[in-house]
Chain A
Amino acid sequence: MEPLVFKESAALSFGIELELQILNPRDYDLTRGAADLLRLVEKKPHPGDIKPEITESMIEVSTSVLTRHAEALKELRGIRDAVIAAAQRLNLRIAGGGAHPFQKWSEQRIFPKPRFNHLSELYGYLAKQFTVFGQHVHIGVRSGDEAVYLTHMMSRYIPHFIALSASSPFYQGVDTAFDSSRLNTVNAFPLSGTMPFVESWEAFNEYFERMRGFGIVESMKDFYWDIRPKPEYGTIEIRVCDTPLTVEKAADLAAYAQSLAAWLLKDRPRQPSRDVYRVYSYNRFLACRFGLDATLVDAYTQSQVSLRDDILDTLQTIMPHAIALECQSALHSIRESAAGGGNDSAWLRDALQRSGTLNDVARLQAALWMGTGE
């Protein structure tokens, strides 16, 4: 079998994928609409790529390869508008958010495509439970070794991305007390978790060959890791973010990842540490559960840090790189939410307070995404 070849790509280029919810305008439950929506969208030229996802009430949109925050914003808005135009003709609503507040997973319908049918057969109810909506950020790197290094270094910052993007406080009709309940559904998959602690692309390839030899995986797609190298794109893919409630937030998060990667790759401030993975699961849980209010364990200093302070410190450190990448405005928005503005989960809980029902929360969520006002 062929070893994985890592395709070189422009360093610090990036791309964004967003999984979106399709809702009906009556009770704002998830509804079957992906096929009709995609057919209509494809009739007109639009930026980016729009694809089906595992259930018929989800679609996935993705940008082209980008280098600047402003481009990302422009392209995401273009994609959003194309999807909204099609949705309006079909009387469907589109919403962001990491989970639908009250859908019943058992009622979801698998999108008729061989890969999805296979996943549904293999994973049983887990496949339908996976009706959750995430943002993936790809960061371009120049080599496989760089990808391995960056993956290990980014792992330390995974709680930042979880807490900043969290937008799934409600799941199956209840407040889960988590800011991101979505990541809990990922944990159930056997190949979830983190990349093993390998030190080079060669070592990674050895690991991959073994796993392929065992017959456990066929391609990188079979690993559901929080961060995974993506050799065919020449990127590392950060997969822990909930889909935010707006495209602007999605672009901000991508800019944060890009600036962070710039700092890690250019300044090489630290070396990968096994300790990061020793505290990883617990930190990840804390970020999911408490969001920005979490207190984490810093593997490098072996001390407790407030997640908010850690984000604010990191923003300060990476700001010179952000300025070079022309995305300081995005980092200012991130600072605002870390300093007190709160994340999307806070917005959603407030929406429930204001409106009284989870149907209304879903309605407000869609209005925010579609820019149609209340």
Chain B
Amino acid sequence: MTDLQFLPSLTPPQGSFVLFGLLLLSGLAGGHLFARVMRLPRITGYIVVGIVLGPSGLEWLSRPALEEMRIFVDIALGLVLFDLGRRIDIGWLRKDRWLLATGVTESTATFFAIFLLLGYLGVEPAHAAMAAAIGVKASPAVLMLVARDLKAQGQVTERALILVAINSALAFFLFTMFWSYLHLEYRAGWLTVAAHPVYVLAGSLTAGWIMAQTAIHGGEWLGKRPDSQFILIVALIVIAVGLTIHFKLSALVTLLAFGILAKNLDRKHALLAVEFGQGAELFFVILFVFAGATLQLELFPEAAWIAVGFVAVRFAAKLLVLLMLAPLNGLRFAQAGLLGLALVPMSGTAVVMVQSTAAVYPEFGARLAAIVLSAVAILEIIGPVATHLALRLAGEASPDTR
């Protein structure tokens, strides 16, 4: 045997390279199966592959292996959030005040609907508020990618993207606030309570602003060359993601602010609307396979019905507000309804939010974690399908994506 040391061991190949490649291949196969054969969004295919391969399924993807994928996931989220931010036109929010009002009302209504439901079910207010805050957020990644896959153009698409940005930001704000409140309840000092949200918010906005200024000035210096500007933007996104990890900031707020400010402060129009294209697609496959793999389906039996209630109440609250405000938004009722449907997907980052809360505050309760994680599981699977359906029915999908 000693003569044959140049041969590898007979255990299955491990390590990031093979893993990355295998995840891409399996995601590709799942996406293809769902999109071509079943006419469902590719994203759902990626998620299902994640579930099958992950700890809840065949356990081929262990938790440490998932951690190795984390960097790709963070970059993918960075790309999506920046791209979403770039689509937010502050001028529009200023001219059509009802748009912002709708976003705030929709988020608030969702929060209270879930909060009341959980209270009714006997969940402690502080914990219920935390879970409700998580439920406010729709999924920017799902909306952006489904809209892109369908080449969707129109009011439902545009408004869904603005609303997801607003409810993501508000969800983050509420979550950080209640997180601090939990600190207080568990006798953390006042300073922690006050300083933590302020630090995260101010830090993230500052980081986003610095990135945006760098992008704009870099763009001016480089000139309007798409290939150069593409590298500039991707580099800054990766740096921004790194900074948020290092300084414990919010990736969501930082990247969203980076996108929004890069678009809205660029008065000389130095930055081009560079497309991330197929290169970014690699990261998105990993993002959703990862999201599927982190779902904890084993919790589902104990919380199934409450999770269904969570999902139903969340949808009803969003739908109701959008229908009521439809005339003020210049939308037909059918469009407002489809807008509500488009906002169904819940963000995979909710899993991280729940897990990190449960880790710091075990009292947060396994039961609540089970409820929220089960709701996320339902919404990750039906969410992309809902958005896909909404944009199609609204007539906003390109005919050649049929």
By a beta-carbon cutoff of 8 Å, the part of chain A in contact with chain B is 24-27, 31-33, 35-36, 39-40, 88-91, 107, 109, 112, 355-357, 359-360, 363
A32 and B86: CB pair below 8 A? no
Question: Are the CB atoms of A363 and B269 closer together than 8 Å?
Answer: yes
Check if B89 sits within 8 Å of A109, measured CB to CB: no
Q: Decide if B154 touches A36 in the complex (CB within 8 Å).
A: yes
B89, B272, B332: which contacts A39 (Cβ < 8 A)?
B332
Interface size of B by CB at 8 A reads: 24
Binding site for A on B (CB under 8 A): 86-87, 89, 91-92, 95-96, 151, 153-155, 158, 223-224, 269, 272-273, 330, 332, 395-396, 398-400
Q: How far is the CA of A26 from the CA of B83 in the complex (A)?
A: 11
Q: Are B95 and A356 in contact (CB under 8 A)?
A: no
Cβ-closest chain A residue relative to B92: A91
Beta-carbon nearest neighbor of B223 in chain A: A356
Return the contact of B153 from the options A24, A355, A363 (Cβ within 8 A): A24
Q: What's the least CB distance linking B207 to chain A, in Å? A: 24
Q: How far is the CA of A36 from the CA of B335 in the complex (A)?
A: 10
Contacting residues, chain B, for A39 (C-beta < 8 A): 330, 332
Q: How far is the CA of A25 from the CA of B89 in the complex (A)?
A: 8
A107 near B332: Cβ-Cβ < 8 Å: no
Report the bound CA distance from A27 to B226 in whole Å. 13
Ranked 6 nearest A-B pairs via Cβ: A32-B153, A27-B273, A91-B92, A356-B224, A31-B153, A357-B224
**Pairwise interchain contact B398-A357, C-beta atoms closer than 8 A:** no
Distance from A145 Cβ to chain B, minimum over Cβ atoms (Å) = 47
Q: How far is the CA of A24 from the CA of B89 in the complex (A)?
A: 11
Are A107 and B272 touching (Cβ within 8 A)?
no
Q: Report A53 CB to chain B, min CB distance, Å.
A: 16
Give B253 Cβ to nearest chain A Cβ, in Å.
Answer: 22
Q: Are B330 and A355 in contact (CB under 8 A)?
A: no
Give 27 CB contacts A-B under 8 Å: A24-B153, A25-B92, A26-B273, A32-B153, A32-B154, A32-B396, A35-B395, A36-B155, A36-B330, A39-B332, A88-B95, A88-B96, A89-B330, A90-B155, A90-B330, A91-B92, A91-B96, A107-B151, A109-B398, A112-B395, A355-B269, A356-B223, A356-B224, A359-B272, A360-B224, A360-B269, A363-B269
A27 and B158 CA atoms in complex are apart in Å by: 14
Q: Can you name 18 extra interface pairs (CB under 8 A) apart from A27-B273, A88-B96, A359-B272?
A: A24-B153, A25-B91, A26-B86, A31-B153, A32-B153, A33-B154, A39-B330, A39-B332, A89-B95, A89-B96, A90-B330, A91-B89, A107-B151, A107-B400, A357-B272, A359-B273, A360-B224, A360-B269
Closest to A39 in B: B332
Chain B residues, Cβ within 8 Å of A32: 153-154, 396
Output the nearest chain A residue to B274 by Cβ-Cβ distance.
A27
Distance in Å from the Cβ of A269 to the closest Cβ of chain B?
51
Complexed CA–CA distance, A89 and B400 (Å): 28
B87 and A26: CB pair below 8 A? yes
Complex interface: chain A residues within 8 A of B273 (CB): 26-27, 359
Closest chain B residue to A30, Cβ basis: B153
Which A-chain residue is minimally distant from B152 (CB atoms)?
Answer: A32
The residue on A at minimum CB distance from B329 is: A89
How far, in whole Å, are A8 and B91 apart by their CA atoms in the complex? 49
Q: Which residues of B contact A363 (CB under 8 A)?
A: 269
Residues of chain A with a CB closer than 8 A to B399's CB:
109
Bound-state CA distance A35–B335 (Å) is 12
Q: State A39–B329 Cα separation when bound (angstroms).
A: 13
Question: When A89-B330, A356-B224, A360-B269 are in contact, do A107 and B154 touch as well, CB less than 8 Å?
Answer: no
Chain B residues with CB below 8 A from A25, complex form? 89, 91-92
Residues on B with C-beta less than 8 A from A91 are 89, 92, 96, 158
Which A residues are in CB contact (< 8 Å) with B96?
A: 88-89, 91
Provide the residues of chain B in CB contact with A359, threshold 8 Å: 272-273
- How far does the Cβ of B93 sit from chain A's closest Cβ, in whole Å? 9
**Nearest CB of chain B from residue A81's CB, rounded to whole Å:** 14
B159 to chain A, nearest CB (A): 9
Q: How far is the CA of A194 from the CA of B54 in the complex (A)?
A: 70
